[in-house]
Each structure stands twice: as structure tokens, then as C-alpha cells.
A and B are shown apart, each in its own frame.
Chain A
Amino acid sequence: MSIADYWRLEAPRFRLEATKCTNCDKIYFPPKRVCPICNNDELIHMDLSGRGRLITFTKVEKPAVEFEYMGPYYVGIVELEEGIRISASIVDVAEEQIKEGMPLELAFRKYYAIGDEGIVYYGYKFRPPL
């Protein structure tokens, strides 16, 4: 990921900012610049609630190189209150605690850094509600 790419992604990565079509009201996350149903480019920004439930999950035992530092870790599919499903890392949860259907909320966490002196990437993960 480049620094410019990281900058472009700040809003959706940091606070789940989606876009909404002003014509059909469909909400897009990941955000889209153009609604492909209406061919409308007038989309408004909106923050998603950050609340949802866990649809399914697994534990990553063999991470790719960027995430080796935090393995093993949980990933899963989260259904947000707005009905949107996203993939995310699930954190602050014990082996006996994690289960399908459990409520989750947005957490702001480190993703990874490239090299010893590279920029550190942050973004959303999900945790049990505090």
C-alpha cells in the first residue's frame, strides 16, 4: 500500500465511512464513487454505526508476511446493523468466548507496518462490546 492510498482510505478504514446513493438510497461499504445501479455520481458520505454481529469466523494460524507479528488471530464476517457484511479481524476475545451470532463493535487498531521504519497502517477491527 502506498502513502497516497493510505490517505485515501482514512475515512472508511478509521471510522467505517460509507457512501450512499442520493437516487436509490443504497449504502456502499467499501465506499463507491459511482452507484452502478443508477449510474449516479452524487453519493453522500455517512458513517456506519460500527455495531454488528458475527456471522462466521476462523483462526488464522499461518498469516501472510504482513500479519505474522500478530498470529494466530481471529478473522470473521461481520454483519453490521445497516445490513452490510464485511470481513474483519476479531480482537479482545477469548477462545471460549467467540461464537457465531455474538454482538460486536468497531475497534480502532494497528494493521501492520512495512519494514522496520515503514509507515504503520491502522484501521477497523471488531471486538465484543465494552
Chain B
Amino acid sequence: MNKVVVASATMTPFTDHYDRDIRDLASEAIRDIFRKTEIERSAVDGLVIGSMASMSFTNQGNLGALIASENNLNSASFTVEAGEASGQAALRAAYSLIKSGMHETVLVLGLEKVTDIVKLPEILSVVNHVNMDSRWEADIGLTLASSWAMIAKSHMSQYGITREQIASVAVKNHYNATFNPFAQFKSKLRIETILRAPALASPLTLFDTCAAADGAAAVLLTTEEKAKSFTDQYIHVKGTGLAHGTLRIAERDRLYSIPAIKKAAKDAYEMAGISPSDIDVAEVHDSFTIAELIALEEMGIFEPGQSGPATEDGRTKKDGDRPINTSGGMKARGYPFGAAGIAQVVEIYEQLLGIAGERQVADANIGVTQALAGTGGTSVVHVFGTA
């Protein structure tokens, strides 16, 4: 069977790009792929785009045809949508296209232009309706923040973790981002600042979540055989898992756990032949601070209830023993929804090739990415390796 590899990876800075529209962002990420890599545009026979809500944010659909035709790509092109997990879901689709032999070289583009909607409550409405049960939760007044708040309360009472431990996720991710030139926030954040910020939904505040951002990220997937013809800078895609849970938070048995993450991780690890202790570096979903803590437990990186204390102790900092979100995560690197899942791969690509600069983790051979839509609707996990 074909071995699928990531043979190039790049991203635009993630921030509010008021001077760029969705086509500009896409064209810049694609430009950088072909600048960095000795391959012609004509060699790309597939383009898969991960985008969460381009219709709602920019009034443009069918990004596959738009971006392919605007960028001189004569490739089979389409968009994958899986809420906030769209980028990672697009990667999974691209992987299967190559694994099946249907395509040889597929460009995966994560893309989101958010800030043309300038009012935060209007952005929130889009994000809530896409990722929650639109009719039975978002439409009756629940928000993603209030859903995560109820999850945080449940996790705190189940395991006795503290509010400060939850906030320490944001402190850590901001610290990591100070070493990332592409990050939205390159400033440190203090626990007190998070706790005193305006409330979102108790116990969570504005600084427990991300800011609006635009951006694009791209990775080039191809076979190992093909990659060898133009580069020695590639990493292997070793495993993929995707699982779902109910969109309605009211129907979850235990709010402190997210079964979709556990299932997606288990499937990806089995396919890759690894166990959680083999993971050297991981990019996980941290749209809200509490999300990262639960992800680390469901992914087996820490025992249930232990990710809060571990984060507070600095174990997940870029220089800790279990480095998580070395890029700064969605919290600080920035979170243009569909683009974020591909930016996770960009970070793992750089880490495994040893080109992550000041963010570099020592001896990184196995890297993992994890995405999540809403509070557990869809989770996608990928495992990458140097061999």
C-alpha cells in the first residue's frame, strides 16, 4: 500500500486580516507551498479544503472550484465541513484519496475568513449554530461558552480540579506562542488577568477562549515514493480516527468526559501502532481552556482528573515533559476555524523535522493532532511520525 506523507506545510499569520479576503488568504498559503517545495502546480491532482462556515461569514460557497480555478490548480477539488473540526476532517479525506490510489498528490487547505462580520455576537451566532444543535440548543439561547461552562463545572466537581488549573491552560498556551512568529498573541498572560476578565458564562471568562481571527494553512499530502522525487523534508501520516457524539449537550451522560475524543484517539493510535506514552508532542483542541484538559485525558496523555494539576505544574509547556500546543494553540496562535486544524499539522510537521526554532521539542518522533467540533459533536485525531 501507498505510504502517505506530508511533504510541505505552511500557514499565513493568524490574525484579523482586514486587508485580505478569503481568496487572498488562500492564494498566499498556496504560493508559499510552491515556493518552499520543488513541485509544479500541475503535479497536484487533488485539492481538499476544510472550511467551517464560508457561506455564513463571507457569502461564498463551493470553495473547491473557486480556489482551484483562481490558483491555476487543475485538480479535483471540494470542501469538507465538520464544524470546528473541518480542517482535520479535510486532512482525513485527502489521506483516503491517496491511500485508495485515486490521487497521488493532494493539497489540503484549511481556510476561514471570519472578521468580515465585525460584531462579536453575530460571529457567536454563526459558531453556535454550526457546532451545536441549531434548532434545539443554539436557537433557544445556549452558547458554546455556556456549554463549556457546564462541562467545566462538572469536571471541577468530579475531579476536584481548581479554577486556576483551568486558567493555567491559557497561561501556558500564551507562553508557548511567544516563540511563534505566526501567532496572533505573542504576549504572556497571567492567571489573575484571566480570572478578572469579563465573564462569558460562569466559571469561564473571556480569556478562557479565543479571539476572532482569519487565516489559511496548507499541507501537501503525497505518497512517500512521489515525495522522494522532490524533497527529503517529509513526515508520515501514520493513523487517522474520526468519531462523533450527540450535538445536544443535554443528552451526554457525563459532562466531564467527551467520548468522541477517546474513540477517535483509540482508532488513530491503533492504526499507527502507538500508545499514548509514545507521543512526543501534540496539538489539541483548546477553543476553551477546559477543552484542552479534557482532550488530554480522553487521549490518554494524562489519567482522568490529572491534566489540570499537570498543566499547573508546567508539564505541558513547550519545555515540559509532555509538550502540548507548542504553537500556542487556538488560544494564542489564533483560531480561524477551518484553518486551525491544518495549522496543527503545520506545527507537528516542523516539530518532527526539527525546524521549529525556539519552539523545538527535543527528539520529537511521534506527533499527534486532535480537533473537536462544538463540545463533542465530532473529534478527529491524526498520528504523524518521522518514520
Residues A56 and B153 in contact in the complex (CB < 8 Å), given A9-B135, A62-B200 = yes
* Residues 46-91 of A at the B interface (beta carbon under 8 Å): 56-68, 70, 73, 75-78, 85-89
The interface residues of chain B lying within 8 Å CB-to-CB of A65 are 119, 121-122, 124-125
Beta-carbon contacts of A1-15 to B below 8 Å, as 1s and 0s? 100010001000000
Partner of A62, one of B121, B141, B250: B121
List B contacts of A85 (CB < 8 A): 250-251
B141–A60 contact, CB under 8 A?
yes
| Complex contact B143–A62 (CB within 8 A) | yes
Alpha-carbon distance between A3 and B34 when the two chains are bound, in angstroms: 49
- Would A73 and B251 count as touching, CB distance under 8 A? no
Q: How far is the CA of A58 from the CA of B153 in the complex (A)?
A: 9
| Residues from 122 to 170 in B contacting A, C-beta threshold 8 Å | 122, 124-125, 128, 135-143, 145-146, 149-150, 153-154
A77–B120 CA distance with the chains assembled, in angstroms: 25
Does any Cβ of B come within 8 Å of A101's Cβ? no
| Chain B residues near A57 (CB-CB < 8 A) | 150
A65-B121, A77-B249 known; A58+B136 contact, CB < 8 A = no
Q: Interface size (A, Cβ < 8 Å)?
A: 32
Alpha-carbon distance A59/B145, docked complex (angstroms): 10
Chain B CB within 8 A of A30 CB:
yes
Q: How far is the CB of B200 from chain A (nearest CB, A)?
A: 5
- Known contacts A62-B145, A77-B150: does B140 contact A89 (CB below 8 Å)? yes
**B141 contacts A77, CB within 8 Å?**
no
Given contacts A58-B153, A65-B119, contact A75 B146 (CB under 8 A): yes
Chain B interface SS verdict (over half)? helix
Judge if B201 is at the interface, Cβ distance under 8 Å: yes
A-side interface mostly: strand
Contact across chains for A64 and B125 when beta carbons are under 8 A apart:
yes
Q: Does B100 contact A (CB under 8 A)?
A: no
Give chain B's interface residue range (CB within 8 Å of chain A): 20 to 34
A77 and B121 within 8 A (CB): no
Q: Which of A57, A66, A78 has the most CB of B within 10 A?
A: A66
A9, A87, A88, A125: most-surrounded residue (chain B CB, <10 A): A87
CA separation between A62 and B145, bound complex, in Å? Answer: 8
> Chain B residues near A87 (CB, 8 Å)?
136-137, 140, 142, 248-250
Chain B nearest CB from A78 CB (Å) reads 8
Q: Which of B188-215 contact A (CB under 8 A)?
A: 198-202, 206
**A108 interfacial contact with B, CB 8 Å:** no
Within 8 A of B (CB), among A12-39: 30
Min C-beta distance of A64 to chain B, whole Å: 4
Residues of A within 8 A of B202 (CB): 58-59, 61
Is B139 a contact of A111 with CB atoms below 8 Å? Answer: yes
Q: At the interface, yes or no: A128 with Cβ under 8 Å from chain B?
A: no
Chain B residues near A30 (CB-CB < 8 A): 135-136
Q: In the bound complex, do residue A59 and residue B201 qualify as a contact, i.e. CB atoms below 8 Å apart?
A: yes
Distance A5 CA – B202 CA, assembled complex (angstroms): 32
| Interchain nearest-CB distance for B166 vs A (Å) | 14
30 contacts between A and B (CB under 8 A): A1-B139, A5-B135, A57-B150, A58-B146, A58-B201, A58-B202, A59-B201, A60-B146, A61-B198, A62-B120, A62-B124, A62-B145, A62-B200, A62-B206, A63-B121, A63-B124, A64-B121, A64-B138, A64-B143, A65-B119, A65-B121, A66-B139, A78-B250, A86-B136, A86-B248, A87-B140, A87-B250, A89-B140, A111-B141, A124-B140
Residue numbers of A with Cβ under 8 A of B are: 1, 5, 9, 30, 56-68, 70, 73, 75-78, 85-89, 111, 123-125
